[in-house]
Chains A and B, each alone.
Chain A
Amino acid sequence: MDDFNVINSADDDDGELQYPVDDEMGASGLRTISSEDVASPEDEEEDVMSALESSGIEASIRNRKRRIEALENISENYGLHPLDWHMRMPVMATEIATKGFQSAAKRQALEELQRKLNEAVAEENRRGPSIAGKENFEDEGFDEKSVSQICDEEFRRRFHRREEVMSMPPIDGSPWMGISGTESRLYVRMFRDRKGQKENLLDAVMRQMSRQSFGYRAFQEIMNEAEQIKIRKEEANKKEKEAEFEKILEAIDNDDVMEVDGDPTKCSALWVNKYAARNFAELLSDDVVNRNLLIWLKLWDECVFKRKNEKILSGVNEKDREIFQMDSGKVRRPHYKIVLLSGPAGLGKTTLAGIVARQAGYATMDVNASDARTNADLQRVLEGAVKTTRTLDADSRPSCLILDEIDGCAVDTIRNLVKAIQASGKKALRRPIIGICNNLYAPAIRELRAIALCIQLGPTNQENLTRRLQLICDREDLRCDLATLRRLCELCACDMRHAINSLQWVAVAARKRRIPITSKLVQEVIERERSGTSSIFENWQTMFDLKRHLDSKGRVFSIHDRAVRIERLALDYGDDRFVSGLHANYLVSLPVAVLRKAAGWFQFYDLLQRIIHSYQNYTPMRYSFAFYVSLHLLLATHAKVSVQYPQVEQSMFSKVEVSFNGESTDTLDTVRMGGETSRSVSRNKLLLDVLPLLVRIVQPPIKPMNEHLYTQREQSLLNSAVAAMCDYGLTFVPTIIKEQVNYLFQPAVDVLTMFEVVDDKKRVYLANATRQLLAHKITLLRVNLLDRDAATVLTNTAKIKELVAAEKEKTTSSDSKSTRRRLRQFGDVHFEFLGGDQNAVKKKISMSNFSALATSSQFRIWSLRVLIRVCRSVFDVFGCSPSDVLH
């Protein structure tokens, strides 16, 4: 339409009306004027490839250089025109994404085409004359030149109208872009040929070709040929890649190898999942490790798939061969029934296990920490997966159990697992188990370690990881140089998962801020991520130290900014421990009036917590920010604050809290339980009144010496101390302190009640020897008391004893009233056979008593049996044998 004002048309295939985001795009856009403005027709005679290249985003470095130069020229020559406001329009991330996608597709198509064409040309050249004779239509001029010509034309047709440089803005309403030239202003028209864009370029070329019938057929043929070559090449490539594992893979039947079918993670947004290894060749971990694991799994073939292959071990050296021994069971299984994969996080242990198991023809069964891992669960899984053999059907595969994060299991569970592994006979393990853990030396899996084949994964090779990251960058259309990726690997300490996650995160950040990915950005992002895990000490310091609130010029932030920062901090870390730490450290050298206010805020916080906890009402939580912010504003200074962990509070807590077996509480409770008198005294009274004075009462100032040398008064003092201690359940126990035996209070009431007071030097302590004496006396008294208590519960034995005693008394002394009463009381003595203490009953019984009983009884046989038993016991007592009497 307005071709009249077209100065030149560019071959830029970017159809978007967008100011290019980056230098390359800008260069390619601007190049149309700077370099091709004056482009002679010879330039257009460039071969297809260079034309394609220069049009694509991913250009050769040569081109890039040229463009950058061109850009510099432009910026020198032309300033930004005020009319060009739209050049500064922000670019939406989505548009960039679509553009990236489109250009990638285009690039791919072009590359494909170019390769095919080249191959086709080569093929044509090779067999040229022989075919020429047979197929006449080739003589019609369809040779290599014609193909390239067709393409050439097509491209020219398609692209040369893409952008046109005009002297005036286009009048047909198509999008345009203004550029100020040296003398005049130029306008670039941009076509938005949506339909054309979506079409595959290749299809377009083919369609074009099909119009010329015989040319198309020839092209088709060439295409097929090229396809074939490509496939062959790929196969060769693949073979080369897996050459290392050839030996092992040979042993595997083709139908055993499980292809990774429709991956659910394919569409995953997380790159970690998206680019996880899909097959054995893609694994990044150490080859030796991979191979060992695979060999071990193949050893199970004999048990699982019922076939032997000795070839597996052929590639293994002598040293390793010991590891891969088989046991001597009926069905031979490997010596080690379980493999423990260990190594730091993010190495791809889980991925490795899964892939190897699938490679070896198993269906994997994952049990990880997210599942409950009690004994019952383990049993169920073991039963279902590993012990049964029936799953080996035509299409279903035997399962291989993968126990992820096994070091998190309870010791009990591990013990059961070990038992299951070591079982033999019918219950024997029939499937391989792979355990995965971070720490091989975790105490929980100690038992398992002894019977498992432990494979430790070293850190990932940095080069490999960098290469993988580069691949991801290519696929995701990120521009990122190798040095940056290396830096990323270093920062992540070769943690694969962390590296890929960080890369994605960096990419997002770069897109958001519209800047390229550089190592600086990588560092910044990762650092920021790290600062999320800042230590609690740093957080405490942030509260008290103004130095942590300086901007880049060394000025303290405004109060508003600081308040916001503190609020953020409190939001992230404001828990009880944090506040405890604040409380432990808030007594900085400030006027007391300030501290008073600060203390008031702590009270405020405490009351809030109280409301929250007692009513489970979290609404007041929002007011706690007032506490943090005010505290900061009150206390923050430039002085250096040495932050301490709230240990004093913790130790107090641990002494008082019942749930922590608090020392003080424990002592107090023991006293209350122990003594007879202390039972009826309430805790507080015991603690506040009784025990502090009792500690003094039971330590009279007595010099240590032999017990017999004490005067009567001293004796009585001692005795009263003993009685008091006994009443309250106290005693002294020998304890070795610094290789010396010391007698200490048990329970430790002195620790509970003694403080570091000024006049504590004057306190009287009992000497060790005296304490020992007291302890001895206390034991004696307790035994006596026990006896007395036991005596009050009258058993038959006791009754008889008393009777005997009374009888003796009767014989020795005159009949007193009390004795007679006693006799009456215990007159009806009865005893049972074997009913009580054996040596308690000694009474004369004549044989005639028994015989009379025996004859008169109707149940003779029964009674005879009883008789014999009774006799035996009687004879035992009297010391003669039963046979003597029976005769």
Chain B
Amino acid sequence: MEVGPMKISLLKREPINREKNGLTYHLKQANHLKLWATTNNVPHLIFYGPSGAGKKTRIKCFLRELYGPGAERTHMLMKSFTTPSNKKLEIQTISSNYHIELSPSDVGVYDRVVVQDVIKEMAQTSQIDAASQKSFKVVVLCEADFLTRDAQDGLRRTMEKYQHNCRLILCCENYSRIIEPLQSRCIAVNVAAPTDEQVANIVENVCQAERVGIPRNVLQQIVEKSSGNLRRALLMVEATRMQDDSGTIPADANVPVPEWETYLKETAEMILKKQSSDTLFKVRTRIYEILSRCIPPQIVFDRLLDELLPACDDVIVPQIVSESANFEHRLLLGQKPIFHIEAFIAAFMDIYLTHLTNAKRVK
């Protein structure tokens, strides 16, 4: 069945990736959405799911179903607003006649002001062509899980008050970071990551459409390395293709991964190699390096743990996991991420080293 044209395309003018088929997975859910779109009775929605699972795509399809192709004609607009401390800030919005899309977390702690001013202002004006179209506009809030508590509280009232004019669609990765009052006001739509088969399927389809032959083992690599992230999978295909000047993918091609991941992997190897203050110092420099490229500390944390855990003995895994949970929690509470990441590494080193020496003694 066809819900709407799905554009997996990331590079729009790139001939590759131009996929004009409909959504190819989670079809049941897609049907639900389509059904909603035909009525005039759309609830507020929260789309959540891991990165690269196709949340945005689904939202786009939904909007298209709601308003027709007009929703795809978007333009970018900078909205300016003034914070209570008289600071002038701008936020980038993407809007069509029917909807507006923005990520308030771009402006950090001032997202409350965005919610209070910009969104409210949007919500107060009614749909231009209410007769022939739906009676409401849609505000899409991306990265809603990065909204501060204040901003989320600010949304509560707005959601209820302007229900006639406006529907909110929140898009987030972490459902639990949306406060409960908002959760209860919305219908949650879980966009799970596609399974490996689905990823493989999609990648194959794209390659077929682009007339790029993809060897079996490369496909396998891509599926593994993308771990359910479709965006990354497609980019990997393209990057792999570009590696060879012939424009085809050789059978022994190496699928590139983002370098920050490689860097973190090497950092993890360093940690496992030697546990001393020297290593800790070197590791810290590397962590600084990564943080200075704007990579979110939580992701650094996650990746490190992913890399470190497989090397650990089963005995200490629970200990490490519980420690890391503690540290990550504090990381979210605290201000200086380096303190927490470093504390985690130090703790890991200690646990690991103690275990190693104990094991030796036993032998």
Contact = CB atoms under 8 A, between A and B. Distances in A.
B243 interface: yes
Nearest to A665: B294
A593 interface: yes
A719 B319 CA distance: 53
Which of B11, B260, B354 has the most A CB atoms < 10 Å from its CB?
A: B11
B102 to A, nearest CB: 11
B183 to A, nearest CB: 21
Given A587-B284, A592-B349, A606-B339, A757 B278 contact: no
Contact of A602 (B12, B51, B343): B343
B101 interface: yes
A713 B246 contact: yes
A685 B232 CA distance: 9
Interface string B277-304: 1101100110011111111100100000
Interface stretch (A239-247, A505-513, A689-697, A841-849): A689-697
Contacts of B10: 677, 681, 690
A726 B11 CA distance: 10
Nearest to B299: A688
A592 B277 contact: yes
Contact of A684 (B143, B262, B292, B338): B143
Contacts of B259: 692, 753-755, 757, 760
A673 interface: yes
B97 interface: no
B349 A649 contact: no
Contacts of B242: 696-700, 717, 720-721
Interface in B49-76: 51-52, 56, 74, 76
Contacts of A771: none
Contact of B335 (A606, A703, A720): A606
B13 interface: yes
A68 interface: no
A328 interface: no
A754 B330 CA distance: 29
A308 interface: no
B340 A679 contact: no
A697 B288 contact: no
B247 A592 contact: no
A487 interface: no
Interface in B229-278: 229, 231-232, 235-236, 238-239, 242-247, 256-260, 262-263, 266, 275-278
Given A676-B12, A690-B231, A727-B11, A664 B266 contact: no
A598 B350 CA distance: 12
Contact of A603 (B239, B276, B330): B330
A760 B288 CA distance: 19
Contacts of A764: 243
A360 to B, nearest CB: 47
B243 A701 contact: yes
Given A592-B280, A680-B101, A693 B333 contact: no
B231 A717 contact: no
A693 B239 contact: yes
B334 interface: yes
B88 interface: no
A664 B284 contact: no
A254 to B, nearest CB: 58
Interface string A795-820: 00000000000000000000000000
A723 interface: yes
Contact of B143 (A648, A665, A673, A682): A682
Given A655-B292, A668-B294, A682 B142 contact: yes
A777 to B, nearest CB: 13
Contact of B280 (A587, A603, A677, A727): A587
Contact of B76 (A609, A679, A753): A679
B291 A656 contact: yes
A697 B56 CA distance: 23
A714 B330 contact: no
Interface in B288-347: 288-296, 299, 327, 330, 333-336, 338-340, 342-343, 346-347
Contacts of A701: 243-245
B92 interface: yes
Q: Pick from B10, B281, B285, B327 the residue with the most CB of A within 10 Å.
A: B10
Nearest to B353: A592
Interface in B88-135: 92, 94, 101, 103, 106, 108
A720 B14 contact: yes
Contacts of B353: 592
B76 A727 contact: no
A699 B327 CA distance: 39
Contact of A685 (B51, B94, B266, B343): B51
A620 interface: no
B28 to A, nearest CB: 26
Contacts of B215: none
B15 interface: yes
A118 interface: no
B186 to A, nearest CB: 20
Q: Is the interface of A mostly helix, strand, loop or mixed?
A: helix
Contacts of B338: 583, 649, 652
A758 interface: yes
A752 B293 CA distance: 6
A595 interface: yes
A686 to B, nearest CB: 10
A633 interface: no
A724 interface: yes
Interface in A598-618: 598-600, 602-603, 605-607, 609-610, 613
B335 A656 contact: no
Given A723-B11, A757-B263, A672 B92 contact: yes
Given A677-B11, A692-B260, A757-B259, A595 B292 contact: no
Contacts of B330: 603, 606-607
Contacts of B349: 592, 595-596
A665 to B, nearest CB: 6
Nearest to A605: B339
Interface in B33-56: 51-52, 56
A382 interface: no
Nearest to A663: B292
B291 to A, nearest CB: 6
B47 to A, nearest CB: 13
Given A595-B346, A684-B296, A688-B295, A694 B243 contact: no
Contact of A687 (B52, B292, B294, B339): B294
A680 B94 contact: yes
A14 B77 CA distance: 91
Given A589-B277, A656-B294, A600 B239 contact: no
Nearest to B52: A689
Contact of A609 (B245, B277, B335, B343): B335
Nearest to A752: B293
Given A679-B92, A723-B11, A588 B277 contact: yes
23 contacts: A590-B277, A592-B275, A592-B276, A599-B346, A602-B339, A602-B342, A607-B330, A648-B285, A651-B292, A656-B291, A684-B299, A688-B258, A689-B232, A693-B238, A697-B239, A697-B242, A700-B242, A723-B14, A727-B12, A727-B13, A753-B259, A755-B259, A755-B290
Interface of B: 10-16, 51-52, 56, 74, 76, 92, 94, 101, 103, 106, 108, 142-143, 229, 231-232, 235-236, 238-239, 242-247, 256-260, 262-263, 266, 275-278, 280-281, 284-285, 288-296, 299, 327, 330, 333-336, 338-340, 342-343, 346-347, 349-350, 353-354
Interface of A: 583, 587-590, 592-593, 595-596, 598-600, 602-603, 605-607, 609-610, 613, 648-649, 651-652, 655-656, 658, 664-665, 668, 672-673, 676-677, 679-685, 687-690, 692-694, 696-703, 713-714, 716-717, 720-721, 723-724, 726-727, 752-760, 764
The 9 closest A-B pairs by CB, nearest first: A692-B258, A599-B343, A755-B263, A652-B292, A606-B334, A693-B235, A596-B346, A599-B346, A655-B292
